[in-house]
Structure 1
Amino acid sequence: MRDDPRLPTSPGFWRSPLRGPWFTSVLGLVLLVGTTVLFVTGLVSYAAYNPDLSPVNDQTPDKGILGFYLFPWPTDPAWLYRLNQGIHVTLGITLIPVLLAKLWSVVPKLFALPPARSLAHALERISLLLLVGGALFEFVTGVLNIQLDYVFPGSFYRLHFYGAWVFFAGFAVHVALKAPAAVRNVRHMRRGAAPEDDLVPPSPDPATFSRRGALGFVGGGSLLLFGTTVGQNFDGALRRTAILAPHGGAEPGSGPNGFQINKTAAYAGIDPAETAEDTWRLIVTGRSGAVRLSRAQLARLPLHSSSLPIACVEGWSTSDQWWRGVRLRDLARLVGYEDDPPDVFVESLQRRGAFRHAALRANQVADPRSLLALYVNGEDLSPDHGHPARVIVPAAPGVLNTKWVARMTFGDL
């Protein structure tokens, strides 16, 4: 049965002349660099949510040793999260053709018999299962998240975090076992054919184009995806080229509030009666008790301005907008924190969707650019941008910049 050419377990079943160690090695080396960057930027992105502010921001309980690297997320530079997440998402989309080509090139190995010829071979097969399964899981869930298709059986952040570590475990073992051979195979590029191995079909079909042509085809696909995604990180004409991104090609409107949003007020279940000037009140709680403030009372407090972008986990971002409002550290001062403001727990009027509340670290509260914004670009916030008040913090992921704020609790979380 193993040698029956009608079965995928037979080497004779796989007849494409493109398969071979050189083609596979080139794709593997591209993925070696690309997925390493993806893994690092993904971990950095997770750290930006300050998941140690448990249980408020913590989407991944029982991280254990996997959270060894977590650190208090900084506020400088203000574009830090925008850059990190732009690289993570754009690179992930760009690598999809490379990943698919790599999986196609090695698919015969998944059917090879016997399953394990030695301990090293057994480790390689196990690493392949973790590698292939983890890669497909991470890329599929990542693309779904970018497209705002939240069809996961749980939190995207938890699933993506654990999936990344499963993938990286297989990736590390596989690289350790295969990297030397991959480098040797690529060096044969200018010396003729690569060494024979079990990826080369024993009876190949006639070639229709070369392996270099196949690499060019894969590279062209990656370039196309890059060109139709990267624009979501910019404004103006370039954003309109991001036709594959949900916040790309569509015009967000005009005027001071004419920039990208993730959730509209209607989607979030905001009742206009709750946000009306004569009914909405902000409750600020802290060491000295609670304070209730109308929007008019907030507007009479000392107001400050900050020029800051918004960047979201899906990879889209805006250029700097001009925000004006009350500093978070001044609100902390109202409830008894004169010098060193503490962490703050922010609650929203939002009824639908994730992140109806969020926590910010003391360093984020203390930054003079961190505001409870009332205005943007010289105009009142629109309902979709968080009227009557929203949080804006430098370098923070968009979901931590809570809109439609109802309550702020300063103190130990």
Structure 2
Amino acid sequence: MRRLLLDARRILRAPSRNPRSAVVLGRLLAFAFLVCFGTGLYSHFLQQPLPWMVFATRPAWLYQLSQGIHITAGIACFPLILGKLHAVFPELFQTPPIRGFAHFLERASIAVFVAASLVQIATGLLNTYQWYPFPFPFKQVHFALSFVMIGSLAIHIAVKLPVIARYWTRTNSFDAEGNLVHDDEGSAAPEKAATGLTGRVLNWIDTAPPREPRVSRRGFVTTIGIATAAVVGLTAGQSFRALDGLNVFAPRKQGTGPNALPVNRTARAAQVTSDDVAAGWVLTVARGSTAKTFSLADLAALPQHRVDLPIACVEGWSQLASWRGVRLRDLMDSVGAHPNEDLRLTSLEKRGGYRVTEMGAEFVQDDLTLVALELNGDPLDLDHGYPARMIAPGRPGVLQTKWLSKLEVI
């Protein structure tokens, strides 16, 4: 019992809880969050571009790589932030809780950062499974929280910069005997010795023979590294084909589903029925007062092109597929569209935030952009957008509009 009480007293002073471990994990965590922030902004503005924005269409796998890194880095943040919290846990309960304005900024920024990070990571993971048990819109909150996180992180780094610089390198962190060099910067006030019966009990506990630490500083950081590599390796296969064989926990696996391609949004979810795509279906292509309609037979009679392009979804999964159909630029030429004109795409979907989307001229004019009629050598399955869907290089899957009904030059 005495040893157990001693362990409980000393657990907050474990070798793994020290400034050096906190700095090592902190810089990895900051790097992961910055990667998530940058790739997240790219994905956001692809979906909601500012008027002056023009995006690269090559390499065709650019968004596949960007969003794969975004999701993978986000997953890596789980063990990293838990390890970071473990390393700094005793400091979260310092007394007095506030010791000046700089200390207040440090405490406030870390509180905001931790809260925002946990919400951001948890909801992001749920989004990969397309499960939304929370009462707020994911996309808008995810975007807003990213700025809250980066802002609070910047404040925290600025306030803690002396400590970070002090323990940035191993050479400055340890003395000649390999012992951690403690720094008084930001340390808590000395704990007052308890008196009376409490003091005698604590003294009795503290004089018990100590046990050797179970986990060293290096062992702790190594464990976090292994855990991070494990969660990344066992989920990244949904984004990177080379790791597909290790894909254990990710919600989608390559090569599955109709046309040997996973489905994100089914026809049933979009409320598209076989009646909507029956023999009377036509695709309307319009520019101003000029409009043409194309039946499925009309589209099939036009020059056909085959391209290999990935479907890369915002949830992180992606897969390369073979598409065959009509070059979008040819359809735009049929109504006299100019090379610098953008396009509005309308789907047969009955509901959904992407029922109507827009496409920049750089994608419209790209040779790889097709109104696809076939996928992997077979006609499109209804869940993949039959009778016709859009496929373009470097675009998020939500913008590769399925069940096309109208293309309008804007």
TM range (shorter): 0.7 to 0.9
295 and 109 in structure 1: CA distance in 2 versus 1, 3 angstrom threshold: same
**Alignment partner of 1:407: what SS?**
strand
Q: Provide, for residues 359-393 of structure 1, a one-character-per-residue CA deviation record: whole Å limited to 9, x for no partner.
A: 11111111121111111233211112111000001
> CA–CA distance in 1 between the matches of 2:165 and 2:318?
38
1:141 Cα deviation (Å)? 1.6
**Alignment partner of 1:272: what SS?**
coil
200 and 373 in structure 1: CA distance in 2 versus 1, 3 angstrom threshold: farther
Query: 1:284: which partner in 2?
Result: 285
| Structure 2, gaps ≥5 residues long | 192-201
Counterpart pick for 1:75 among 57, 64, 77: 57
Counterparts of 1:181-330 in structure 2 under 5 Å? 181-185=163-167, 186-187=169-170, 188-191=172-175, 192-196=179-183, 198=187, 206=211, 207-235=213-241, 238-248=243-253, 252-253=256-257, 257-276=259-278, 278-319=279-320, 321-330=321-330
Give, as a single letter, the amino acid of the residue that structure 1 aligns with 2:93. Answer: F
1:147 Cα deviation (Å)? 1.7
| Alignment check: 8 A CA contact 1:97 1:222 kept | yes
1:233 Cα deviation (Å)? 1.8
Counterpart pick for 2:32 among 8, 12, 34: 34
| Structure 1, gaps ≥5 residues long | 1-5, 54-69
Q: Provide, for residues 6-35 of structure 1, a one-character-per-residue CA deviation record: whole Å limited to 9, x for no partner.
A: 9xxxx9894544311122121112112222
| Alignment check: 8 A CA contact 2:300 2:325 kept | yes
Residue 359 of structure 2 corresponds to residue 377 of structure 1: no
> CA–CA distance in 2 between the matches of 1:322 and 1:91?
28
- Normalized per residue, the structure richer in helix is 2
| Alignment check: 8 A CA contact 1:328 1:370 kept | yes
Query: 2:102: which partner in 1?
Result: 120
Give, as a single letter, the amino acid of the residue that structure 2 aligns with 1:383. Answer: L
Give, as a single letter, the amino acid of the residue that structure 2 aligns with 1:397. Answer: P
Q: Provide, for residues 321-355 of structure 1, a one-character-per-residue CA deviation record: whole Å limited to 9, x for no partner.
A: 22221222222222231x32521111112235542
Counterpart pick for 2:42 among 41, 44, 47: 44
Identity of paired residues, percent? 40
**CA radius of gyration, larger in:** 2
Query: 1:332: which partner in 2?
Result: 332
293 and 189 in structure 1: CA distance in 2 versus 1, 3 angstrom threshold: same
Number of residues of Structure 1 aligned to a counterpart in Structure 2: 379
> CA–CA distance in 1 between the matches of 2:190 and 2:271?
59
**Alignment partner of 1:48: what SS?**
helix
| Alignment check: 8 A CA contact 2:12 2:89 kept | no
1:303 Cα deviation (Å)? 2.4
TM (normalized to structure 1)? 0.84
> CA–CA distance in 1 between the matches of 2:357 and 2:247?
29
Query: 2:140: which partner in 1?
Result: 158
